[in-house]
């Protein structure tokens, strides 16, 4: 098996994992497959380096390796150079297909018909160790034995999966788990004082918040959102709204999000509904050091993107809550994102030169309008703002797989207008559409699609043609982000979190500009690597202490909440 590796080491840690905190390793078991050597290390025996060999000719193998690599970080060990994660490779083999027992180690063993004795008995022990309540309930020997059962299970799995693994690209995927462990170790800096204020006051100010925002809508009765009143509001303001087949309004958050973009007056109502239904401030995973840490759940989505818990991750709930992000004294945080990443990926991979020209212009939406002869060649963002917005929504709608009716609802225009926009897109970017059609045909005929680095989606019974069309952009975007994170972390940048097509970094003030440049260079290099030389540009948003990070979409809601908390605190001081 893979003779180019001198040694193959299977590794598993048991560790305490309190919410928001870094892992606290309890024990380690490792097997070296070539020699048959075995290592069982209790927490008081950890040294300055792993007890087994390391280096470029040693393969480190694990199931969900970011957990083990997080323990490496906690122990101050240098990360392994060659990483194979069997969780990722199992996900890659089954992505889009059913896995009856899930994607965990037990699920993989079951899928391949392997003995799962031991792995299935471990849940209660893992729970106790993770919560730090194992003391007095389990002996050192019992914990080491359970840990070794996992290593034995990983060995059984490796022997079956090895012939199926695309080794060069599997190592690239494993490399990302090292970067993921670094980001989970760092976490996002949080203003814990304001978080505590929110936690103390949130229930008390909800009624006031509803009353203040509902003044413009009159759709609430107490704390209840009344569908019939909202239907009346839409009719009075002539806002077309998507409906279910039954005729009832589609009130899903995704629909609200799309409609708020087309009709900004809806945005405060959407933020309020989202906050009332989803916001559980005590779920936000913040450690004693004020850092928001979560398991990034790498490769969990079909596109291969991270899928962290929405309730625990600061970028999961409503955007206004991101105002809690604040760099520590003497530091800054920087949000670095690719400009129109999906549009650029589509332009590059399809080889559509008109689309590439639009991307390189710096304003693909206005350039699209010019290419379609909808605005003069001398048009600017200010002179033709309305037209640009329509063409922008068309571009975004195409990326979401929208058809004329859904696009019409998004832009608040008759269906014929949406149909003409989509026709203009097809005529302007013919090569892109030929490539997109070919990708869909390939998926349906061959049963799969894959990225430039071999991340697959398999076409199961529930395959969605729109999702398959979008897969090359989404999944290659995920490849790009993973590679950029690897490069930046390896070059010494402190990445706090990856966010879809962006990263949030932190650095001391004196190093901020250097780390921004390093991050942007890494993102540019990653785009060139994935897109065969085509480079995507990046945008930067810098927040220096004592300022707080703020997403402009949530500014109004943040200010309202802070005002209400301030008024309540003032009243309490007067009473006291």
Q: How confident is the model at residue 371 (pLDDT cuts 50, 70, 90)?
A: very high
pLDDT of residue 364: 97
3-state secondary structure of 535: coil
pLDDT band at 93 (very low <50, low <70, confident <90, very high): very high
Does residue 64 fall inside a structural domain? Answer: yes
* Unique residue bearing structure tokens 């069997």: 86
Share of the chain above pLDDT 70, in %: 98
Strand 291-292, strand 188-189: pairing:
antiparallel
Domain for residue 106, yes or no? yes
Closest Cα partner for 302 from 487, 118, 97? 97
d(CA 421, CA 408): 10
Phi and psi at residue 217, in whole multiples of 5°?
A: -125, -40
**pLDDT of res. 268:** 86
Asked if the model's pLDDT at residue 249 lies above 70, the reply is: yes
* Domain-embedded: residue 85: yes
What pLDDT is attached to residue 278? 64
* Pairwise CA distance, residues 251 & 269, whole Å: 12
* CA dist., res. 45 & res. 359, Å (int): 56
Query: What DSSP state is assigned to residue 249?
Result: B
CB 14 within 8 A of CB 40: no
**CATH number assigned to the domain comprising residue 69:** 3.30.420.10
Transcribe 116-166 into DSSP letters. Answer: -TTGGG-HHHHHHHHHT--TTTS-HHHHHHHHHHHHHHHHHHHHHHGGG--
User: Which of 565, 549, 572, 563 has its CA nearest to residue 196?
Assistant: 565
Structural domain of residue 37, as residue ranges? Answer: 7-186
How far apart CA 180 and CA 65 sit, in angstroms, is 10
Domain count, the chain: 1
| 3-state DSSP of 337-403 | EECCHHHHHHHHHHCCHHHHHHHHCCCHHHHHHHHCCCCCCCCCCCCCHHHHHHHHHHHHHHHCCCC
Q: In this structure, how many other beta carbons lie within 10 angstroms of the beta carbon of residue 237?
A: 11
Alpha-carbon distance of 153 to 29, in angstroms, equals: 12
pLDDT at 117: 65
CB crowding 450-471: b at 16 or more within 10 Å, else e: bbbbebbbbbeeeeeeebbbbb
How far apart, in whole angstroms, are the C-alpha atoms of residue 33 and residue 307? 33
Prediction pTM value: 0.94
Q: How far, in Å, CA of 575 to CA of 315, rounded? A: 37
Which tokens go with 173? 């995927």
State the virtual CA torsion across 319, 317, 101, 464 in degrees, nearest 10.
-40
546 by Cβ neighbours in 10 Å (0-12 / 13-18 / 19+) ranks as exposed
- Alpha-carbon torsion 66, 71, 74, 80, what sign? negative
In a domain, residue 151? The reply is: yes
Contact between 71 and 93 (Cβ < 8 Å) = no
Give a yes or no: residue 159 inside a domain: yes
Above 80 in pLDDT, residue 261? no
Contact assessment for residue 60 and residue 80, using Cβ atoms and an 8 Å cutoff: yes
pLDDT at 121: 57
In the chain, the N- to C-terminal Cα span, in Å, equals 74
For the beta carbon of residue 566, count every other beta carbon within 10 angstroms.
Answer: 12
**Alpha carbon distance 274, 311 (integer Å):** 12
Q: pLDDT value at position 277?
A: 75
- Residue 213: CB atoms within 10 A of its CB come to 20
On whether residue 545 sits in a domain, the answer given is: no
- Which residue has tokens 């290419």? 371
Q: What is the pLDDT of residues 422-479, one digit of tens each?
A: 999 999 999 999 999 999 999 999 999 999 999 999 998 778 899 999 999 999 999 9
Q: How many angstroms separate the CA atoms of 496 and 16, rounded?
A: 21
DSSP-assigned letter for residue 80: P
Model confidence over 57-81: pLDDT tens digits?
Answer: 999 999 999 999 999 999 999 999 9
The CA R_g of the chain, rounded to the nearest whole Å, is: 26
| 472-519 pLDDT tens trace | 999 999 999 999 999 999 999 999 999 999 999 999 999 999 999 999
Q: What is the pLDDT of residue 2?
A: 93
In a domain, 30, yes or no: yes
**For position 119, what pLDDT does the model report?**
56
Share of the chain above pLDDT 90, in %: 79
pLDDT at 207 over 60: yes
Residue 389 counted as domain residue: no
DSSP state of 86: H
- Mean pLDDT to the nearest integer, 38-64: 97
Mean pLDDT of the chain: 94
């Amino acid at each position: 098996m893979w003779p180019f590796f001198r040694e193959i080491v299977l590794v598993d840690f048991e560790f305490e994992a309190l919410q928001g905190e870094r892992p606290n390793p309890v024990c380690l078991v490792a097997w070296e497959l070539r020699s048959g050597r075995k290592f069982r290390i209790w927490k008081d025996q950890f040294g300055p380096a792993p007890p087994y060999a390391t280096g470029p000719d040693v393969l480190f193998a694990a199931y969900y390796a970011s957990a083990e690599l997080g323990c490496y970080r906690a122990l101050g060990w240098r990360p392994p150079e060659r990483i194979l994660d069997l969780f990722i490779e199992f996900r890659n083999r089954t992505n889009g297909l059913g896995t009856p027992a899930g994607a965990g180690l037990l699920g993989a063993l079951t899928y391949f018909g392997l003995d799962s004795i031991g792995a299935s008995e471990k849940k209660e022990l893992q729970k106790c160790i993770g919560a730090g309540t194992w003391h007095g309930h389990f002996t050192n020997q019992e914990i080491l034995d359970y840990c070794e059962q996992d290593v034995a299970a990983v060995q059984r799995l490796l022997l079956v999966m090895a012939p199926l693994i695309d080794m060069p690209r599997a190592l690239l995927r494993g490399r990302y788990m090292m970067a993921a462990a670094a980001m989970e170790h760092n976490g996002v800096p949080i203003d814990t004082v304001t978080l505590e204020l929110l936690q103390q006051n949130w229930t008390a100010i909800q009624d006031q918040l509803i009353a203040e925002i509902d003044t413009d809508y009159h759709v609430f009765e107490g704390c209840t959102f009344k569908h019939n009143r909202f239907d009346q509001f839409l009719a009075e303001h002539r806002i077309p709204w998507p409906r279910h087949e039954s005729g009832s309004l589609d009130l899903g958050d995704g629909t609200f999000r799309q409609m708020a973009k087309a009709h900004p007056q809806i945005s405060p109502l959407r933020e309020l509904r989202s906050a009332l239904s989803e916001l559980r401030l005590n779920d936000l995973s913040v450690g004693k050091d004020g850092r928001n840490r979560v398991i990034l759940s790498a490769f969990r989505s079909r596109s291969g993107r991270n899928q962290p818990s929405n309730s625990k991750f600061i970028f999961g709930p409503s955007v206004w809550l991101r105002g809690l992000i604040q760099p520590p004294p003497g530091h800054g945080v920087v949000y670095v994102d690719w400009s129109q990443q999906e549009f650029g990926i589509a332009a590059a991979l399809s080889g559509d030169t008109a689309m590439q020209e639009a991307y390189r212009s710096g304003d693909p939406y206005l350039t699209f309008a010019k290419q379609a002869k909808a605005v003069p060649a001398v048009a600017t963002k200010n002179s033709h703002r309305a037209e640009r917005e329509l063409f922008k929504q068309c571009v975004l709608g195409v990326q979401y797989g929208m058809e004329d009716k859904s696009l019409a609802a998004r832009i608040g225009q008759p269906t014929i207008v949406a149909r003409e926009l989509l026709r203009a897109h097809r005529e302007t970017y013919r090569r892109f559409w030929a490539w997109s059609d070919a990708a869909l045909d390939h998926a349906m005929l061959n049963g799969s699609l894959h990225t430039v680095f071999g991340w697959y989606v398999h076409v199961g019974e529930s395959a969605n043609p729109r999702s398959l069309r979008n897969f090359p952009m989404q999944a290659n975007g995920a490849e790009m982000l993973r590679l950029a994170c690897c490069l930046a972390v390896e070059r010494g940048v402190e990445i706090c979190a990856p966010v879809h097509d962006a990263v949030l970094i932190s650095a001391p003030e004196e190093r901020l500009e250097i780390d921004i440049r390093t991050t942007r260079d890494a993102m540019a290099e990653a785009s060139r690597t994935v897109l065969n030389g085509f480079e995507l540009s990046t945008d930067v948003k810098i927040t220096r202490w004592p300022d707080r990070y703020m997403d402009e979409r949530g500014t109004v809601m943040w200010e309202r909440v802070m005002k209400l908390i301030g008024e309540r605190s003032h009243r309490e001081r007067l009473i006291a």
